[in-house]
Structure 1
Amino acid sequence: MSVSWYVRLFKFLIVFAVVGGIAGGVYLWRNHADAAPSRISYTAFVDKVSAGEIVRVRLEGDSITAEAKGGGSFQLYRPSDADLSKLLLDRHVEFTSTPAEAKIRWFELGFILVLLVPLVFIMKRMAVFGRSKAKRIDGARTNTLFTDVAGAEEAKGELMETVDFLKDPFRFSRLGGKMPTGVLLVGPPGTGKTLLARAVAGEAGVPFFSMSGSEFVEMYVGVGASRVRDLFAQAKKAAPCIIFIDELDAVGRRRDSGGNGASDERDQTLNQLLVEMDGFTVTSGIVVIAATNRPEVLDPALLRPGRFDRQVVVGSPDIKGREEILKVHARNVPLAPDVDLHLVARGTPGFSGADLANVVNEAAILAARANKPLVEMTDLDMARDKVMMGVEKKSMVLSEKSKLSTAYHEAGHVMVARLVPGCDPVHKVSIVPRGRALGVTVQIPEEDIHCYTKEMLVAHIKVLMGGRAAEELVFSTTTTGAGNDLARATDVARKMVSEWGMSEAFGPVAFGHQDPASGEGGRKSFSDATAVEIDTEIRSIVTGAYSEVRDLLLAHMDSLKLLVSELLTHETLGSSEIDELLQPAFALEAQSPHYAKP
């Protein structure tokens, strides 16, 4: 429930208390007014009537109110006396008679209404709780098509069958085939899973119901199941249509066999979803598309045939896909002639569609700040660095000692990357602080790499060790700046030994196990003695690479110092500037009798 609802309820309760207080006050006042006359016995009343001292009588149920001659009134309880009316008539006493119910009927009715209003309000609110929060977009208003989705050609090809099914369900059923009505989109965040679902609705021209998995579950038990029923009831009325459930793992997580009360609401919601999907027919015209980046935690009942039996993997785009995505997002952005989107795509390995959209948007913002008429290549380059490494901290002033140490650290990375075979080319090096780093070295592979060799991984470890080795050679000490490099290098070495079978001591053996359902890794499946050997092998790989890097930098110390000098002067160097600087230096060093060939 939102805060605004609680505010409205609080205001209503205040009004209810005021109205109830007024009604109670009126009731007490009337009772007090009625109790004002003096009370006498029935015998005394009859005597006064017989003596002619009473001029007017009001009979109200069991109550008698009498007015005496000369003023004054009396009140008493009326017994079951049939002769009272005759006595009053005989003495010519004016009297009226009113049933007791008529006196308080309106007050009781008002009091009941005051009680019913909040009850009706609460019941109405509970009914709203059970309604689906799905956002509906009609087919005519869905402007997203497959042409708006780039970098996911295989996924679009699989989803085209779903589009054909929505357009003509009987085409698939006339030969006895059953088109899958549950499609699960699996992939990392930002890869365009929601966009693909909207594109399916746009291509088919059908209504699109969108809802997040977390919107089903509430604090009240049963609300989630009610929302599932309401969502599918709406979809059946609008069929053919698409139901899209984002972040399915929020409601479809594997059920707890222990019967934990905390998960009862989620389990009931999941059970209702399973029931609704099981009731589909081929001609119902409803397709359920769900998205998740954690398929391993989903309940197996969701993935069985008849439910989400078709899984479409939406992964990070390759270099061609990234270029197409950049073209889509740059449609409405005026680009300068020098912009090369292929070069931008090459410099963004591992970026998702959302990341690339952010790069284009940041570039447009940077160009607008500089009052440029067009977005230039430098803007895209700066935007990529901002998304990848964070904002430049130009206001952060480093001491000369820290600046020199950072320059040697980054130059060490660059030198090792240039000298060790199998390393990715260096695109840029900078000693301007960004994010939490005092400097950065950017390497961009010439092509997307999907499978790494042992030599490539060892080369990567050596590049990571280059910064610390340079600092130690020059200053005879080390700093905390290499902490992240050491952690990454150790992690790569650990995976080489325990997961990828790249250790000479163990051979093709994998150690350890991770439970995908719980997400808890590192369950020990080896002895303590083996654990010691694993740690020893990891240490051997890292320290061996570090020793080689020290020797390599020591043999090219002149080039290292030259690179540091240029970094201190310009702070940032590009790949062409690094090549222009180091190629002649390498040639001169190669002629030296003390040169050690890498």
Structure 2
Amino acid sequence: MAEEYEKGLDIRQRASLANSGGLIDFVIANKYKTVLWLVVTVAMITLWVTATETMAGIFLTIAQFLLGAAFMIVQFAALFLFLGRGRIYWVQPGETGVTFTDYRGNDQILEVARRVVTILRGQSDVRQMGGTYTAGLLLEGPPGSGKSYLAQAMATEAGLPFAYASAPGFSNMFFGVGNLRVMMLYSKARKMAKKHGGAIVFIDEIDAIGMARSAQTSGQGSGTVGGLFGNPGMMILNELLLQMDPPNFDNDWRARLLRRLGLKKERATPPPVLTVGATNLAHTLDQALLRPGRFDRKIHIDFPDFDGRKDIIAYYLAKVRHEQMPLDRMANDTIRYSPVGIKHLVNEAVIHAHFDGRDAINYADFTRAREDHEYGLREPIRNMSQDERRRIAYHEAGHAIAQVKLLPHHRIAKVTIIRHGDALGFAAAKPLEERYTLVREEALAHIQISLASRAAEELFLGTRMSGVSGDLHHATQTAYFMLTQWGMDGGLFSYAPWGGGQLDPETKTRIEQVLEQEFKKSKTLLTTYAGAVHEIAEGLLESDELDGQDVIDIIAKHDDLLASGRGPRVLPEYALMGAGGIGGPAPQLIAPNGSNGANGSNGSTEPAEADAADSEEGRDPAQ
């Protein structure tokens, strides 16, 4: 035991001597290796000088073989270097031109970014206090919320080089190239950091390589490739974990040479490299990636609020020529819009104004750009029959009435029977203010609005159309969430822990009861405002679309008629409970004078002569 202890002590002493002394101490500590290299070198020189012609030929053959092997090694090294480059773009300090003054809409996020930059620039002061700089910053939020834009602004404000890398670009068909790309990225980042005092590495869509390893292994097969090489995505993640929080050493060639010669004694100080990751799936990332030391801070960047949108709109309007613009209304129009989405609308408004022959945009240009973005381009169907246009008009009129009467926190923006994308028509309502919660009464109102189209079909057309599938889907989904996850029926049980669960017959029956109840309410509402339904539908048939204010004015007029007792009476009981005339005569509304509406007027408040004229023109929905 004593001999083993002395042997171990001798090894530690020689290692300490090699690391702490100068060149002479290094040679003494490695005397056997030094002597061996000297003997081999002298022998090679002697053989070369005293070699015969035969020996020279042998040496030449060996040299050619070594040269060929070196050439092959260089080829493979060059190939891997080429494949290891990846899609990484380096931007020098100030080259992006994006500063903190260009980042608008979220002052709290901007303040956090300022602090990170301040610490990165003044890291020496922080280290003197015993702290360290922020090593990683994870930006999580929906697409277009400004994650990469914020990273560019941070690089400009810090005066540091900025590397933009797309996480899917690290993957490669050749095994090990992904690891090589990660190593090369951080190797260059550390070189840049030594030169400029720091560097920022931005990895977009980091969830592509940072997914939790448990999720990766659960889907991995046991095929030949998987068995021989493992999971390439997991290997890239492991390399990223190492590079983000490496051991405390300096591994460039100068440091290695100095360490080898025993001339480097001070503690290694790694250059500051800030890793900024961006994702909209932060919950899928590996926990080792999210721990302090790698991603020290996690910032959720959401869509801007009302004040933030006003700030963003004013910022982009200042860059273009424009007339007086209603900023408050524009901010309400763009609820749930990202900063880049607002920028797109302003640019599209400029394009509309340009092709309209004007040199400044107005609110109408902005609205047209927003509608094209939300609803799709206007694509009128010129050969659509009058009967189909009438069906769509009454379908959308039902939605419009329900939206105006049941959504007090919204304003109807537009009703149209012009095709936009996949929709043959729509009634669009925009919120008057941002609302972050939903109460039971509002959820039921949304169900009534969705079912109002079917109610209008049965009441005023005496049939059921195929275009109601999306409405039924939305109504059923809302009722499902009310009963199974939101507890709005008074229950406290939730299906959410089981991913929603399979729909059992009892739950289906309860959902159907809610839908039937709200459907009857929709029918009652449209019966009361039957005159307004007719007027809106006729307006759509005449001009293809109505502005929201026009619809509001029509309904307000009929509110006055109802208040004065001149509105239509309610439908018979069978029309409210049954199929609305399907398989039998179309339901008839009672006219204001107490008699049946002439020619099946369905309760129009216009005189009988006008109803007859409408019938002659083929525009009576009951015919």
The answer to whether the superposition gives a TM-score over 0.5 is: yes
| Count of residues in correspondence between the two structures | 484
* Residue 555 (structure 1) aligns with: 528
- 2:360 matches 1:374: yes
State the identity as a percent. Answer: 30
Residue 326 of structure 1 and its aligned partner are, at CA, apart by 2.1
Measured in 1, the distance between the counterparts of 2:347 and 2:246 equals: 45
- 2:497 matches 1:510: no
Instruction: Provide closer, same or farther for how the CA distance between residues 138 and 421 of structure 1 changes in structure 2, counting only shifts above 3 A.
Output: closer
Q: TM-score, normalised by structure 2?
A: 0.72
Summarize the alignment of residues 529-548 of structure 1 with structure 2, pairs less than 5 Å apart: 531-548=504-521
* Residue 265 (structure 1) aligns with: 232
- 2:102 matches 1:148: yes
Matched residue SS, 2:512: helix
- 2:117 matches 1:163: yes
Q: Aligned to 1:246, which of 186, 204, 208?
A: 204
- 2:553 matches 1:580: yes
For 1:448, the aligned partner's letter is E
Contact residue 468 and residue 482 of structure 1 kept, 8 A = yes
Residue 113 of structure 1 and its aligned partner are, at CA, apart by 9.7
Contact residue 358 and residue 387 of structure 1 kept, 8 A = no
For 1:325, the aligned partner's letter is I
Q: Aligned to 1:420, which of 406, 418, 424?
A: 406
* Residue 8 (structure 2) aligns with: none
Structure 1 stretch displaced more, 280-289 or 486-495: 280-289
For 1:127, the aligned partner's letter is L
For 1:467, the aligned partner's letter is S
Residue 423 of structure 1 and its aligned partner are, at CA, apart by 5.6
- 2:132 matches 1:184: no
String of CA shifts for 1:177-221, please: whole Å, max 9, x gaps. Answer: 344311110001111111011111111111111101111111111
Contact residue 221 and residue 265 of structure 1 kept, 8 A = yes
Measured in 2, the distance between the counterparts of 1:226 and 1:385 equals: 47
For 1:170, the aligned partner's letter is S
* Residue 37 (structure 1) aligns with: none
Instruction: Provide closer, same or farther for how the CA distance between residues 257 and 122 of structure 1 changes in structure 2, counting only shifts above 3 A.
Output: closer
For 1:276, the aligned partner's letter is Q
Residue 596 of structure 1 and its aligned partner are, at CA, apart by 6.3
- 2:271 matches 1:284: yes
- Larger strand proportion of the pair: 1
Q: Aligned to 2:313, which of 326, 333, 355?
A: 326
Contact residue 184 and residue 310 of structure 1 kept, 8 A = yes
Measured in 2, the distance between the counterparts of 1:421 and 1:137 equals: 50
For 2:98, the aligned partner's letter is T
Residue 133 of structure 1 and its aligned partner are, at CA, apart by 3.6
Structure 1 stretch displaced more, 177-186 or 267-276: 177-186
- 2:225 matches 1:236: no
Instruction: Provide closer, same or farther for how the CA distance between residues 114 and 257 of structure 1 changes in structure 2, counting only shifts above 3 A.
Output: closer
Matched residue SS, 1:427: strand
Q: TM-score, normalised by structure 1?
A: 0.75
For 2:414, the aligned partner's letter is K
Measured in 1, the distance between the counterparts of 2:238 and 2:54 equals: 57
Matched residue SS, 1:413: helix
Summarize the alignment of residues 91-240 of structure 1 with structure 2, pairs less than 5 Å apart: 120-121=74-75, 123-131=77-85, 133-239=87-193, 240=198
Residue 501 of structure 1 and its aligned partner are, at CA, apart by 1.2
Instruction: Provide closer, same or farther for how the CA distance between residues 119 and 301 of structure 1 changes in structure 2, counting only shifts above 3 A.
Output: closer
Measured in 1, the distance between the counterparts of 2:65 and 2:355 equals: 66
Measured in 2, the distance between the counterparts of 1:178 and 1:111 equals: 52
Residue 483 of structure 1 and its aligned partner are, at CA, apart by 0.8
Matched residue SS, 2:410: coil
Contact residue 414 and residue 429 of structure 2 kept, 8 A = yes
Residue 101 of structure 1 and its aligned partner are, at CA, apart by 13
* Residue 393 (structure 1) aligns with: 379
- 2:563 matches 1:590: yes
- 2:515 matches 1:501: no
Measured in 1, the distance between the counterparts of 2:239 and 2:288 equals: 12
String of CA shifts for 1:76-117, please: whole Å, max 9, x gaps. Answer: xxxxxxxxxxxxxxxxxxxxxxx99999xx9x9999999997
* Residue 360 (structure 1) aligns with: 346
Residue 145 of structure 1 and its aligned partner are, at CA, apart by 1.0
Measured in 2, the distance between the counterparts of 1:467 and 1:532 equals: 27
* Residue 242 (structure 2) aligns with: 275
* Residue 442 (structure 1) aligns with: 428
Residue 131 of structure 1 and its aligned partner are, at CA, apart by 3.3
String of CA shifts for 1:355-379, please: whole Å, max 9, x gaps. Answer: 2222112211211222211112111
Residue 396 of structure 1 and its aligned partner are, at CA, apart by 4.5
Contact residue 411 and residue 563 of structure 1 kept, 8 A = yes
Residue 148 of structure 1 and its aligned partner are, at CA, apart by 1.1
Measured in 1, the distance between the counterparts of 2:405 and 2:552 equals: 12
Residue 138 of structure 1 and its aligned partner are, at CA, apart by 1.1
Contact residue 96 and residue 152 of structure 2 kept, 8 A = yes
Measured in 1, the distance between the counterparts of 2:217 and 2:65 equals: 50
Contact residue 422 and residue 459 of structure 1 kept, 8 A = no
Measured in 2, the distance between the counterparts of 1:350 and 1:535 equals: 32
Residue 142 of structure 1 and its aligned partner are, at CA, apart by 2.9
Matched residue SS, 1:156: helix
Structure 1 stretch displaced more, 115-124 or 452-461: 115-124
Measured in 1, the distance between the counterparts of 2:185 and 2:354 equals: 44
Measured in 2, the distance between the counterparts of 1:100 and 1:303 equals: 66
Question: Aligned-pair RMSD on alpha carbons?
Answer: 2.9
Instruction: Provide closer, same or farther for how the CA distance between residues 474 and 573 of structure 1 changes in structure 2, counting only shifts above 3 A.
Output: same
* Residue 82 (structure 1) aligns with: none
Structure 1 stretch displaced more, 566-575 or 305-314: 566-575
For 1:169, the aligned partner's letter is Q
- 2:304 matches 1:309: no
Any gaps of 5 or more consecutive residues in structure 2? 1-52, 249-268, 572-623
Any gaps of 5 or more consecutive residues in structure 1? 1-98, 515-520
Residue 171 of structure 1 and its aligned partner are, at CA, apart by 2.6
Residue 174 of structure 1 and its aligned partner are, at CA, apart by 2.5
Q: Aligned to 2:469, which of 457, 479, 483?
A: 483
Contact residue 409 and residue 432 of structure 2 kept, 8 A = no
Measured in 1, the distance between the counterparts of 2:408 and 2:478 equals: 16
Contact residue 166 and residue 241 of structure 1 kept, 8 A = no
